[in-house]
Amino acid sequence: MSKAKDRGEFPWWHGAAVYQIYPRSFQDSDGDGVGDLKGIASRLDHVAALGVDAIWISPFYTSPMRDFGYDVSDYCDVDPTFGTLADFDALIARAHDLGIKVIVDQIYAHTSDLHPWFTESRSSRENPKADWYVWADPNPDGTPPCNWQSVFGGPAWTWDARRRQYYMHTFLKEQPQLNLHNRAVQDAVLDVARFWLKRDVDGFRLDALNHAMHDPMLRDNPPAPDTGKVRTRPFDFQIKKYSQSHPDMIGFIERLRAVCNEFGAIHSVAEIGGDNAEFERKAYTSGEVRLNSAYGFDFLYAPELTASFAAQVLDTWESEDGWPSWAFENHDAPRAVSRWCAPEDRQAFARMKMALLCALRGNIIIYQGEELGLEQDEIPFEMLKDPEAIANWPLTLSRDGARTPLPWRNEPKGGFTTGEPWLPLSPANLARAVAQQEVDDGSLLHVTRQLLDIRNRSAALRHGSFENCVAAGSLLSFDRVAAGERLRCLFNLGKEEIKPDASIAGSAVILAMNGAAPNSLPAYGALILRT
Q: Quick check: 528 and 501 in contact, CB under 8 A?
A: no
Classify residue 283: in a domain, yes or no: yes
For residues 264-293, b (16+ Cβ closer than 10 Å) or e, as one string?
A: eebbbbbbbbbbbbbebbbbbbeeeebbbb
- Specify whether 425 is located in the same domain as 509: no
Long-range contacts of residues 277-282, Cβ cutoff 8 Å, at least 24 apart:
277/210, 278/316, 280/210, 280/245, 281/322, 281/324, 282/321, 282/322
Q: Which of 393, 427, 422 is nearest to 405 (CA)?
A: 422
Classify residue 126: in a domain, yes or no: no
Classify residue 63: in a domain, yes or no: yes
Classify residue 153: in a domain, yes or no: no
- Contacts (Cβ under 8 Å, ≥6 apart) of 248: 181, 213
- Specify whether 304 is located in the same domain as 388: yes
Q: Indicate the Cα dihedral angle 496, 502, 503, 508, nearest 10°.
A: 70
Q: Quick check: 149 and 188 in contact, CB under 8 A?
A: no
SS3 257: helix
Q: Indicate the Cα dihedral angle 407, 412, 415, 419, nearest 10°.
A: 120
Bridge partners of 205?
105, 269
Res 114: pLDDT: 98
- Specify whether 402 is located in the same domain as 488: no
Classify residue 149: in a domain, yes or no: no
- Contacts (Cβ under 8 Å, ≥6 apart) of 187: none
- Specify whether 353 is located in the same domain as 238: yes
In the structure, what pLDDT confidence band is assigned to residue 5 with cuts at 50, 70 and 90? very low
- Specify whether 259 is located in the same domain as 365: yes
d(CA 459, CA 4): 4
Does the pLDDT value for residue 3 go beyond 60?
no
Domain boundary among 428, 455, 482: 455
- Specify whether 313 is located in the same domain as 385: yes
Q: Could you tell me if residue 172 is left (phi over 0), alpha (psi between -120 and 50 degrees) or otherwise beta?
A: beta
Q: Quick check: 56 and 63 in contact, CB under 8 A?
A: no
Q: What is the mean pLDDT of the chain?
A: 95
- Specify whether 426 is located in the same domain as 474: no
CATH number at residue 324: 3.20.20.80
d(CA 477, CA 29): 45
Domain boundary among 455, 485, 520: 455
Domain that residue 513 falls in: 465-530
Query: pLDDT tens digits, residue range 258-280?
Result: 999 999 989 999 999 988 999 99
Domain boundary among 455, 481, 513: 455
In the structure, what pLDDT confidence band is assigned to residue 257 with cuts at 50, 70 and 90? very high
How far separated are the first and last CA of the chain, in Å rounded?
12
Catalytic residue numbers, as ranges: 207, 262
d(CA 517, CA 520): 5
Bridge partners of 471?
476
Name the strand (E) or helix (H) holding 317.
none
CATH number at residue 481: 2.60.40.1180
Does the pLDDT value for residue 308 go beyond 50?
yes
Classify residue 403: in a domain, yes or no: yes
Give the CB-side neighbour count of residue 21, counting CA atoms within 13 A: 29
Average pLDDT over residues 193-212: 98
pTM for the model stands at 0.96
Q: Quick check: 268 and 206 in contact, CB under 8 A?
A: yes
Q: What angle do CA 46, 47, 49 make, to 5 degrees?
A: 65
Query: pLDDT tens digits, residue range 477-508?
Result: 999 999 889 999 999 999 999 999 888 988 99
d(CA 374, CA 369): 6
Average pLDDT over residues 251-260: 98
SS3 340: helix
- Specify whether 240 is located in the same domain as 368: yes
The shares of helix, strand and coil residues in the chain, as percent rounded to the nearest 5, are 30, 20, 50
Tally of structural domains, the chain: 2
Classify residue 124: in a domain, yes or no: no
Q: Using the Cα atoms of residue 483, residue 487, residue 488 and residue 490 in order, give the sign of their dihedral.
A: negative
- Specify whether 297 is located in the same domain as 423: yes
Classify residue 163: in a domain, yes or no: no
d(CA 414, CA 370): 16
- Specify whether 250 is located in the same domain as 335: yes
Query: pLDDT tens digits, residue range 42-100?
Result: 999 999 999 999 999 999 999 999 999 999 999 999 999 999 999 999 999 999 999 99
d(CA 139, CA 203): 43
Amino acid in position 195: F
- Specify whether 332 is located in the same domain as 423: yes
- Specify whether 241 is located in the same domain as 346: yes
Instruction: Strand 526-530: give its sheet, edge to edge.
Output: 465-472, 475-482, 485-492, 526-530, 508-513
